[in-house]
């Protein structure tokens, strides 16, 4: 089985969620002219699927944990400025 073709229920749901958020983003930017928060919502929604893929294809459990720790620390650092 090719690893690129793995479709878990979680991955399917995250894709559906991301597509819904893309539609929300389009509506917010076109109708409401809201650009800053809508862009962040779009990035956050699409990162869910990316994290699931990282978990599926990490070379080892420590590799995955290390990657997630660095990303989480960066998000907390950025978030603390608001």
- The better pLDDT of the pair 77, 25 is held by 25
Using the predicted structure, report yes or no on whether residue 72 has a pLDDT greater than 80: no
* Number of domains forming the structure of the chain: 1
Give the pTM: 0.63
Confidence at residue 26, expressed as pLDDT on a 0 to 100 scale: 93
d(CA 67, CA 26): 31
Flag whether 70 is in a domain.
yes
Flag whether 54 is in a domain.
yes
Using the predicted structure, report yes or no on whether residue 2 has a pLDDT greater than 70: no
> Domain holding 63: CATH number?
1.20.1440.60
* Residue 11 near residue 42 (C-beta atoms within 8 A): no
Using the predicted structure, report yes or no on whether residue 76 has a pLDDT greater than 60: yes
> In the chain, pLDDT over 70 holds for what percent of residues?
79
Helix 36-57, helix 9-31: angle, nearest 10: 160
């Amino acid at each position: 089985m090719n690893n690129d073709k793995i479709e878990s229920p979680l991955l399917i749901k995250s894709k559906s969620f991301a597509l819904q958020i893309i539609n929300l983003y389009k509506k917010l930017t076109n109708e409401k002219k809201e650009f800053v928060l809508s862009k962040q919502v779009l990035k956050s929604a699409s990162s869910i699927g990316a994290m699931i893929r990282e978990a599926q294809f990490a070379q080892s459990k420590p590799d995955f944990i290390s990657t997630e720790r660095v990303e989480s620390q960066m998000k907390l650092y950025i978030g603390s400025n608001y």
